[in-house]
Structure 1
Amino acid sequence: MAVVQFMVSVDLSVVNLGLPQISSGLGFSAVGLTWVIHAYALTFGGLLLLGGKIADRFGHRRVLLIGLAVFGIASLLGGFAQEPGHLVAGRALQGIGAAALSPAALALLTVTFPSGKERVRAYGIWSAVNAAGGALGVLIGGALTEYAGWRWVMFISVPMAAIALALAWRGVAPAPPLAPSGRPDVLGAILGTAGMTLLVFGVVRTEQYAWTSPVTLGTLAAAAVLLAAFVAVERTTTRDPLVRPGLLANRWVSGANSFNLLLGAAMASCFYFASLYLQQVLGTSPTLAGLQLLPFAFGVIIGAAVAIKLGYRVALRTLLIAGGLVTAAGFAWFGLMSANGSFLVDVLGPSLVTSIGFGLCLGPVVSAATVDVPQRDAGTASGLLSSSRQIGASLGLAALGTAAHGFAGSSATPQALAEGYGLGMTLGAVLLAGAVLIAFFVLPRTSATATAEHDAPAPGAPQLVPEAE
């Protein structure tokens, strides 16, 4: 599962530094090039919830293997693309595969490690690998583009998918799918998937259309109507719903997903603003910028290791509050960046603080989002968590990017750019402060480790314990 998540995380960022070569190699227009990124985000974000439900209904292992095969084939086809449409289609197919395998992989962790120290350790490893993949993706993408050509930013996923497929085939025990409680909720699936896809579509197009434009407002309004209809159908349907109404009534699930949405919104902006500051203000090359962002991955690993050590004895709520505060402090430090800054003070220092705090949050937020979730809903809960992070990242990057570039204006001087990026980072700190408030007021004041089907805790598993103040 760690290899699977590493591959998905790498693929979210590996293409970015290869975009100039992709544009010249395939003849993309300026607008068309953005769809190399958006096609993946659209299918991945829009189908995550459906992918989680399919995994619950037809078997986590089966859906994981199918998703890996689709992802690998899509990567191969994208690498051989001869026209812009071929590459965009390959990226969209990658997103479909990722939307199936990502929640299935997380659900397998949930049901394999239902409680105790093993659960904390598994989520810690998973979260560290997740963040390391995102950071290394930038470095890998830059190196591949410079020394091997842009096609290898697609081909690199093929061997990773093959390795993950072999490991999952041998290492994950086959299990029959859980018996569905009724006929599939086709209407709910259509409304939920269409609403999520339209929401992501409206957000990613803010690069072309302003937030206040009729196109953006109309798209987001249509998404809101579809999602409202989805909620109404899920509450009244007699079929097997895409999301059981009781799932979101669970304070752990609703609180963790709200925390995760704000965390994802802030962190997506962090990499964006830090890389732009390094290249456009400090004059760093793309490859060197990727290397200079690498300490972020090590900070996340440190934070995740601390979360593993503390997770045996400290409440999830406490870890999320502490991690959110540390991450917010790092963003506030980033907000002080200036045109006369340096890598050590304005990038390395705040990136280490931010990444350690982020690492403290990752494992606990996954654990909190799956507390008291029965095995039959493990994939759905995993899809919800992945969706909240993906949508948060899309919303945060679009909104904070608009604010930062609007503040910098059209002058594009180093000082104006630094102030704009600093404003974006400061707004990220505000989002993280909101996440801390959610953890404090929404999450229960107890630390729970639940089994997959609400059975008695495994031997040695911690019981519900009051949180230490």
Structure 2
Amino acid sequence: ALSPAAGGLLITALGWRGVFFASLPLALATLALAWRWLRREAPADRSAPPDAAGLALGCGALFLLLFGLTRLSDSHATGLAALLLLAGGTLLALFARRCRKRAAPALNLNLLADPLLRFSMAVYQAVPGVFIGINLVAMLWLQNSLGLTPGAAGMLMMPWSLGSFLAICLTGKTFNALGPGPLIMAGCLLQALGIALLTQIERGEQQLALAGAFALMGVGGSLCSSAAQSSAFLNTPNAALPDAAALWNINRQLSFCFGVALFTLLLDQFCAHVAPAQAYRWTFWCAALATLLPLPLCFRLDNRAVKLRLVPEQETP
């Protein structure tokens, strides 16, 4: 909640280099707390060493794919971008093939056979991932088009955070009774509504509308992320939780990377053909529509089965 506003104030006062000092006191505090609280533990027994070749394939594939997406915005580098994407896709296929054949793979992709885990990961790509991408675009729009200072633009994350806090509390109170389906559908609609509201704002003085848009995005995005995370591992055996957590965290980080790459690419393409105000507006509409992509998956989700899966946990004395 505070970091975007603090970053904006640092940029205003010290210039762009100042933002890199923002994490220094937090990093030092984290080191102090880790030294105080964490205790040495015996290393876990491993039957096989880590798959270094598999890790290299996976990291290389993701680097090439993300780099290829960034190069797509350069009209003079479309050939290079296509080559990078093709190479990245090839390495990704080789990585998946290696993971499925090894007894101790870098990632246990067999866990993706669980439809609930796949559903939760798809929701994260389409909702929190979209927000991270469109939030970057919105910060450019707020400062370059509406004339807000970096600090004022960063302060709009405060209503987002309050909405997020409300959504997380609501999920905790209602998840067992409702299941993930209704919460995620409501979240998709609310975040899409918040992004769509940005298309109707034309002046920086419309602070109430801006705060409302970001609050809607906070409620909607966090309803989806908290409900998806609460349901992701319900069918995962305890022994497989470390591998499932690795898949989940990689998917979460990639959703942020893909969201930023996709919507900055769209903005660049629109700016090449229309005025900047219209380009931002079209990018916001695309993001609002992308947020609705999980809705068909929600109708296919067996929400009743998920709630029945939760019943024994509720009745356990």
Range class of TM-score, shorter chain: 0.7 to 0.9
**Is residue 398 of structure 1 aligned with residue 261 of structure 2?**
yes
Structure 1: distance between partners of 2:290 and 2:302: 17
Normalising by structure 1, report the TM-score. Answer: 0.60
Number of the residue aligned with 2:78: 213
Helix, strand or coil: the match of 2:46?
coil
Which structure 1 segments of 5+ residues have no match? 1-131, 451-456, 465-469
Return the match for 2:231 from 336, 347, 368.
368
Number of the residue aligned with 2:45: 179
What amino acid is aligned across from residue 180 of structure 1 in structure 2?
R
Return the match for 2:191 from 314, 320, 327.
327
Helix, strand or coil: the match of 1:182?
coil
Normalising by structure 2, report the TM-score. Answer: 0.85
Number of the residue aligned with 1:429: 288
Number of the residue aligned with 1:356: 219
Structure 1: distance between partners of 2:146 and 2:20: 30
Q: Show the 5 A alignment for 1:120-135.
A: 132=1
1:229 shift after superposition: 0.7
**Is residue 461 of structure 1 aligned with residue 304 of structure 2?**
no
1:260 shift after superposition: 0.8
Return the match for 2:21 from 148, 152, 155.
155
For residues 197 and 401 of structure 1, do their structure 2 counterparts lie closer, same or farther at Cα, with a shift above 3 Å needed?
closer
Return the match for 1:196 from 62, 82, 95.
62
Q: Show the 5 A alignment for 1:165-176.
A: 165-171=31-37, 175-176=41-42
Structure 2: distance between partners of 1:371 and 1:364: 12
Structure 2: distance between partners of 1:317 and 1:173: 40
Name segments (4+ residues, structure 1) moved above 6 Å: none
Which structure 2 segments of 5+ residues have no match? none
For residues 143 and 380 of structure 1, do their structure 2 counterparts lie closer, same or farther at Cα, with a shift above 3 Å needed?
farther
Report % sequence identity: 26
Deviations 1:320-339 (A, max 9, x none): 222122212222222333x4
Q: Show the 5 A alignment for 1:78-93.
A: none
Could you say what the CA RMSD is over the residues aligned between the two structures, in angstroms? 3.1
1:315 shift after superposition: 0.8
1:448 shift after superposition: 6.5
**Is residue 261 of structure 1 aligned with residue 139 of structure 2?**
no
1:407 shift after superposition: 2.9
Return the match for 1:288 from 143, 152, 161.
152
1:225 shift after superposition: 0.4
Structure 2: distance between partners of 1:430 and 1:420: 16
Structure 2: distance between partners of 1:446 and 1:386: 25
Number of the residue aligned with 1:31: none
Kept in 1: contact 2:137–2:263 (CA 8 A): no
Deviations 1:362-404 (A, max 9, x none): 2222222333334554343333233323323333333333333
Deviations 1:157-201 (A, max 9, x none): 233123223434544565544433434333322211221222222
**How many residues in Structure 1 have an aligned counterpart in Structure 2?**
316
For residues 323 and 196 of structure 1, do their structure 2 counterparts lie closer, same or farther at Cα, with a shift above 3 Å needed?
same
1:449 shift after superposition: 10
Kept in 2: contact 1:251–1:443 (CA 8 A): no
Kept in 1: contact 2:187–2:224 (CA 8 A): yes
